[in-house]
Structure formats: structure tokens, C-alpha cells
């Protein structure tokens, strides 16, 4: 899933690899997917993009964006974006294919669900708008006062997982990055906001910033792949890759449970409920 570390890394790769390329051909919705969401009609994407040149890229929250002169093509959530050389074998199924004038190409494939938005400069979709304009971690505005008010303004019977990953409170934090955020803060995913003391709230705020910086620095998580299909360099502490392994702090076995519609991974000793 594209979350803050992955959107930043993808945008950087877009800038390095795709800037200056001109679109030759586009096929959208080649493999229809019930939970692949497009902005506008996919059948119009070729007419809108053909002949356009990529001028830059951007990242905000869980969105990675390609910029053209008067258009923007944005990807979020479970959209897997891959770059291909001319001789590469393309994935059999994809929701978007873009061929460039040098015969390299880009494919976007949705697994569980994902969004592909083609917008003009003045258009903004609801989720996209929230991801772009809402205050996010690592921005100067995401300070301790803002975070404290965000917690105070939320229902106190929310779990810390629900607080972090639902209702777009903090765009770009989802069920993926929150696992290590909570481990580093020594908080169980099911802990209620009402049970947190001031020290634990401070630990959570610090962990959000420090964990995300580390994930970005290493090019995203090792549970996700970049533009070239390579795993990110950040080694996750709590994920499917570490399930049933000993915690590196206490050697207790890392546990997986289903909670709030997704898996949570935690150390039952370091993150006591």
C-alpha cells in the first residue's frame, strides 16, 4: 500500500526517471477491477495524455503524483506502479498502461483496491484533496500542539490504531506504517486513547515523526516495492515478515491478530494492553 514513505520514494523516482518523457500511448482499465477507482472515464485517458510531457512529481500523504503541463496523474492506496524498459515483459493484468516516446512504459496494477486519478489543474477529488491539504507528519504545522488537539478532538474510546489509520485524521498513515510506529512507542494497537498518559502521548507523537523519517530515508518499507519492483530498504519490525519471530528487544514471539478489518502485529511483552 502507498503510505507516506512509499509516496515520497515514488515521487523521487518519478522525478529522476520519468521527468521529460512524452506520452505516446495509453490504455486504461485494460483489466477491469471492481475496486479500481478512476477519476473521469478511463476510455478518455489516451486522448487526454497522448503527446503530454511529464514535467515533475509530487507526494502528499499516501498519494504519489505525476505532473504534466495542465494535468496531474495521481496514484494512491493499493496501486502498484512499475517502470519497464522496452524489452521487459509486462504484467498480464493492469489497470493503466502508459507508453513513452522512448518505448519505455509504466504500468499500474490494483490488487485489493486502489485509485488512479487523472485531473486537470483545477480539479480535485475528495480523498485527493484531503491528502493534499490536510496537515501531515513531517510538516512544520504537525507540531505537538496540533497533535494534542487532534487527540482531544477524537472520541476517547477509539483505539490508537483507529485514531491513526481511520477517517483520514493523518493522511498517509495506514495499517502498514502504524505497526512500527506503535511498537516504537510501546503501545498496543488496541489501547484506548482515554488510557494514555502524557508520557505515552508524547511517545506516540515522537514515534510518528522518527519512524516515518527512518522509513523515508531507507526508501520505504521492505513489505512494499518501488518503481522498479524492488523492496524498500527499511526493515520492518512488526509485519508479516517478522510474525512468529522473536522480538529484538525482549525475545517474546511477535504476534498477529485480526483487528479493525486488518492484521495487527505486536510484541505482547513490549506492547502490553
Residue 217 CB neighbour total at 10 angstroms: 13
Residue 29 has pLDDT above 90, yes or no: yes
Q: Which pLDDT does position 231 carry in this prediction? A: 98
SS3 212: helix
Q: Is 219 domain-assigned?
A: yes
CA 149 to chain CA centroid, Å, is 24
Q: Is 138 domain-assigned?
A: no
Quick: pLDDT tens for 49-93.
999 999 999 999 999 999 999 999 999 989 999 999 999 999 999
Q: Which pLDDT does position 102 carry in this prediction? A: 97
Residues 113, 209 share a domain: no
Q: Which spans in the chain are helix H?
A: 4-17, 45-49, 126-133, 144-152, 160-165, 178-185, 198-217
Residues 129, 9 share a domain: yes
Residues 149, 129 share a domain: no
Residues 128, 10 share a domain: yes
Q: Is 89 domain-assigned?
A: yes
Residues 108, 152 share a domain: no
Lowest-pLDDT range, 21-35, 109-123, 140-154, 196-210?
A: 109-123
Q: Is 162 domain-assigned?
A: yes
pLDDT band at residue 28 using 50, 70 and 90 as cut-offs: very high
Q: Is 245 domain-assigned?
A: yes
The number of domains in the chain is 2
Residues 243, 201 share a domain: yes
Q: Which pLDDT does position 124 carry in this prediction? A: 75
**Among candidate residues 99, 133, 167, the one where a domain is terminated:** 133
**Among candidate residues 86, 113, 133, the one where a domain is terminated:** 133
**Among candidate residues 133, 162, 184, the one where a domain is terminated:** 133
Quick: pLDDT tens for 96-154.
999 999 999 999 999 889 999 999 987 777 788 889 999 999 999 999 999 999 999 99
Q: What distance in Å separates the CA atoms of residue 157 and residue 174, rounded to the nearest whole number?
A: 19
Residues 79, 40 share a domain: yes
Q: Is 271 domain-assigned?
A: no
Q: Is 139 domain-assigned?
A: no
> Could you tell me the CATH number of the domain that includes residue 72?
3.20.190.10
Residues 148, 128 share a domain: no
Q: What distance in Å separates the CA atoms of residue 34 and residue 44, rounded to the nearest whole number?
A: 19
Q: Which pLDDT does position 77 carry in this prediction? A: 85
Q: Which domain holds residue 166?
A: 144-266
Residue 127 near residue 115 (C-beta atoms within 8 A): yes
> Could you tell me the CATH number of the domain that includes residue 160?
1.10.8.50
- Average pLDDT for the chain: 96
Q: What distance in Å separates the CA atoms of residue 256 and residue 253, rounded to the nearest whole number?
A: 10
Percentage of the chain surpassing pLDDT 90?
Answer: 92
Helix axes 178-185, 198-217, angle to 10 degrees: 130
Q: Which pLDDT does position 96 carry in this prediction? A: 98
Residues 12, 129 share a domain: yes
CA distances from 168 to 136, 164, 172 (A): 10, 8, 8
Which value, in Å, is the radius of gyration of the alpha carbons in the chain? 20
Q: Is 53 domain-assigned?
A: yes
Q: What distance in Å separates the CA atoms of residue 53 and residue 95, rounded to the nearest whole number?
A: 21
Residues 157, 126 share a domain: no
Residues 164, 101 share a domain: no
Residues 219, 127 share a domain: no
Could you tell me which of 132, 212, 203, 228 has the C-alpha nearest to residue 171? 132
Amino acid at each position: 500500500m502507498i503510505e507516506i514513505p512509499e509516496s515520497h520514494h515514488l515521487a523521487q523516482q518519478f522525478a529522476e526517471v520519468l521527468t521529460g518523457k512524452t506520452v505516446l500511448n495509453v490504455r486504461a482499465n485494460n483489466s477491469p477491477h471492481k475496486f479500481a477507482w478512476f477519476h473521469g472515464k478511463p476510455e478518455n485517458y489516451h486522448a487526454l495524455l497522448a503527446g503530454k510531457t511529464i514535467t515533475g512529481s509530487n507526494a502528499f500523504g499516501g498519494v504519489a503524483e505525476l505532473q504534466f503541463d495542465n494535468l496531474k496523474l495521481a496514484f494512491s492506496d493499493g496501486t502498484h506502479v512499475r517502470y519497464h524498459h522496452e524489452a521487459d515483459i509486462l504484467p498480464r493484468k493492469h489497470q493503466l498502461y502508459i507508453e513513452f516516446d522512448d518505448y519505455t512504459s509504466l504500468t499500474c496494477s490494483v490488487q485489493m483496491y486502489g485509485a488512479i486519478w487523472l485531473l486537470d489543474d483545477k480539479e480535485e477529488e475528495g480523498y485527493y484533496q484531503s491528502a493534499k491539504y490536510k496537515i501531515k507528519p513531517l510538516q512544520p504545522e504537525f507540531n505537538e500542539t496540533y497533535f494534542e488537539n487532534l487527540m482531544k478532538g477524537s472520541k476517547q474510546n477509539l483505539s490508537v490504531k483507529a485514531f491513526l489509520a481511520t477517517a483520514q485524521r493523518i493522511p498517509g498513515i495506514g495499517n502498514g506504517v502504524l505497526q512500527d510506529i506503535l511498537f516504537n512507542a510501546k503501545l498496543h494497537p488496541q489501547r484506548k486513547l482515554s488510557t494514555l498518559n502524557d508520557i505515552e502521548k508524547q511517545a506516540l507523537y515522537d514515534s510518528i515523526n522518527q519512524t516515518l523519517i527512518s522509513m523515508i530515508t531507507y526508501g520505504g518499507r521492505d513489505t512494499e516495492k518501488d518503481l522498479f519492483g524492488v523492496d524498500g530498504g527499511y526493515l520492518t519490525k512488526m509485519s508479516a515478515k517478522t510474525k512468529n519471530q522473536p522480538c529484538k528487544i525482549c525475545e517474546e514471539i511477535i504476534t498477529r491478530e485480526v483487528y479493525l478489518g486488518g492484521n495487527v502485529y505486536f510484541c505482547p511483552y513490549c506492547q502490553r494492553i
